[in-house]
Structure 1
Amino acid sequence: MNLKGFHHLTAVTADAPGNYRFYTEALGLRLVKKTVNQDDTSAYHLFYADGVGSPGTDITFFDWPVGRERRGSHSVTRTGLRVGSEASLGWWQQRFKTLGVQQAGIAEENGRPTLAFEDHEGQRLALVVDSHGDAHPWEQSPVPAEHQIRGLGPITMSVADPDPTDMVLTKLMNMTAAGRSGDTLIYRMDGPGAVGELHVTVDPSLPPAQQGAGGVHHVAFNIPYADYDAWASRLRSMRVPNSGPVDRFWFKSLYFREPNGVLFELATDAPGFATDEPMDKLGTTLSLPPFLENRRTEIEAGLKRL
């Protein structure tokens, strides 16, 4: 029962059309699923990923009419996106300059060349050189295949007290403490390279973050479909308050908060986004799980055009 790395990360936008433009046109990711928040069908849930919608490549967004995030602790503070080579970082640095994307200089972080940047709402991101795992470029991306984003990792969260979080990560979730870099603790999962690396920064001086546009809602970890029931039993047996089983149709989920308040999800690697759409048509129409299909007309009427 080991985690396979990250499954997806879900953030918040207050500008779905601008979000769609940035992540598909500027970053060249594929919109693999255009759906709604199943708990709030007035809001889009947009999934951007690699060319085939692989688990571990998705950055997803809820579209809510909210103000900007107030940054702080008890939150995910940066999302890493993997690229294949240091030459790609130079290409992206020039692209960001041309597009006017806010960026920092290329620097080495934890042994990997890294280019930190932000989207138009202040979402904190970083391109990280890591060539582990398979690459699945999107043929229609405006970004050349050799420079395309390969997936997630590492992801950084901030906590005030590391000890309770460490207990959950190592004893419940079977991560391995892999050292530290300054005030940042590094944890490893079974995923190859950076997709299996969670960073926990310790800063008790920060106030708790207030969620909003440009912030992260939750981070999801990848589990084999066959292990789902065992993970549900594990959470129960260790008396971890959690959502209980939740079927999202494209994957199954379990939700719980770690002790510093960051929302975690365990999400299965199957059945996948091609369950209800052909691979070549992913994300081209509004996709709804079967239990919402009878409300399609109502739901579509409440959504803005992308």
Structure 2
Amino acid sequence: MLNQIKGLHHVTSMASDARRNNEFFTRKLGLRRVKKTVNFDAPDVYHLYYADEFGTPGSVMTYFPFPDIGKGRHGVGEVGTTVFSVPEGTLGYWEKRFADEGVSGVARETSFGEKRLTFTGPDGDSFALVEDKADSRAPWIKGGVPGDEAIRGFHSVALRLKDGGATEELLKFMGYEEVDKSGNVRRLAIENGNGADVVDIESLPGAGFANLGAGSVHHVAFAVEDRARQLEVRKALVDTGYGVTPVIDRDYFWAIYFRTPGGVLFEVSTNEPGFDRDEDTAHLGETLKLPTQHQHLRPYLEQHLQKLED
């Protein structure tokens, strides 16, 4: 069993409109946009990062807003719900805020003994807030949400799979342990993590497969401290039979990718070098940052990319 992984690093999803996506996460959820860059493989598409003040691993929600992309179809073989952590006793605040902001799909529920508020994003993305009194992570406090109510980071992701058994074994190999079960959902968690420590696996043998599009999660990334630990994880996965990509420089972290038995794309990302490598912490996410190979496109991109509110 591996011990290098320390919880979630980031979750990356698809969107259909950059301006609407930016407004939802910065204005309605009160997160900080910590980076405004472009997709490495499609530089005419933004890659937007939302997080806490520093872009701390375990708090980073990222998006590829492909203009006018078709809406995704939810099903098995995907991350079904992305769950954020909020302080105990704050769901009432968020319920009112969502009503005032016109957020859809809002409902209260209890899962694994935790109070939750489910809601949907602008493209039908599935989200939830969970009250967690033990979460001591510091929030971003300049996004219009008071610090006592603000999002702390991720609580968990919920994988929706036709058969969760093989993916559960993979997560156990990665250092997770089963800590609870409720119906057809198994909960796994990692000890001594970064606060974003939980993965739920929902098995739905009769459900149809998901189709990637706007509102779909593209991949979920797990955090390791540095490149040395990442290489250890990569070797262990390859030795176990997984097809893992070479290490890829993503400017703000180093990444490897592999497909799980259940069909979900996993990434393992380093905590280094971080989002302040090319911007001062006080000004994260304010200017368009481009990968080296796309610098020559700056005049075109600055003219053609959709303008975003700061």
**Structures share a fold, TM > 0.5?**
yes
Change beyond 3 A, Cα 1:191–1:13? farther
Structure 1 segments (4+ residues) deviating >4 Å: 191-194
Q: Do the aligned residues in 2 keep the contact of 1:184 with 1:199 (CA within 8 Å)?
A: yes
Offset at 1:126? 0.3
Alpha-carbon distance change, 17 to 191 in structure 1, aligned in 2, over 3 angstroms? farther
2:154 is the alignment partner of 1:152: yes
Give the paired residue count: 304
Q: TM-score w.r.t. structure 2 length?
A: 0.93
In the alignment, what sits opposite 1:231?
Answer: 233
User: 2:20 pairs with 18, 22, 30, which one?
Assistant: 18
- What is the aligned partner in structure 1 of residue 301 from structure 2? 299
> Does the C-alpha gap of structure 1 residues 174 and 160 become closer, same or farther in structure 2, counting only changes over 3 Å?
same
Query: 2:98–2:106: 8 Å Cα contact kept in structure 1?
Result: no
Residue-by-residue CA offset, 1:5-43 (whole Å, 9 max, x unaligned):
100000110011001111101111000000111121121
* Deviation at residue 278 of structure 1 after TM alignment: 0.1
**Structure 1 residues 230-284: Cα deviation after superposition (integer angstroms, max 9, x where no partner):** 1222222222112111111110101001011100000111110001100011000
Preserved contact between residue 2 and residue 189 of structure 1 (Cα < 8 Å) = no
Cα deviation for residue 133 of structure 1 reads 4.5
Equivalents in 1 of 2:203, 2:280: separation in Å?
44
* CA deviation profile, 1:274-303 (whole Å, cap 9, x unmatched): 011000110001112333323322433442
1:1-306 correspondence runs (5 A)? 1-64=3-66, 65-86=68-89, 88-171=90-173, 173-192=174-193, 195-225=196-226, 226-306=228-308
Is contact 2:223-2:270 (8 Å) kept?
A: yes
Q: How many angstroms apart in 2 are the aligned matches of 1:197 and 1:140?
A: 27
Q: Distance in 2 between matches of 1:63 and 1:120?
A: 11
What secondary structure sits across from 2:143 in the alignment? Answer: coil
The code of the aligned residue for 1:199 comes to D
Query: What TM-score do the two structures reach when normalised by structure 1?
Result: 0.94
Q: Which amino acid aligns with 1:83?
A: V
Indicate the percent of aligned positions where both proteins have the same amino acid: 35
Give distance in 2, aligned partners of 1:282 and 1:193.
22
Give the CA RMSD over aligned residues: 1.6
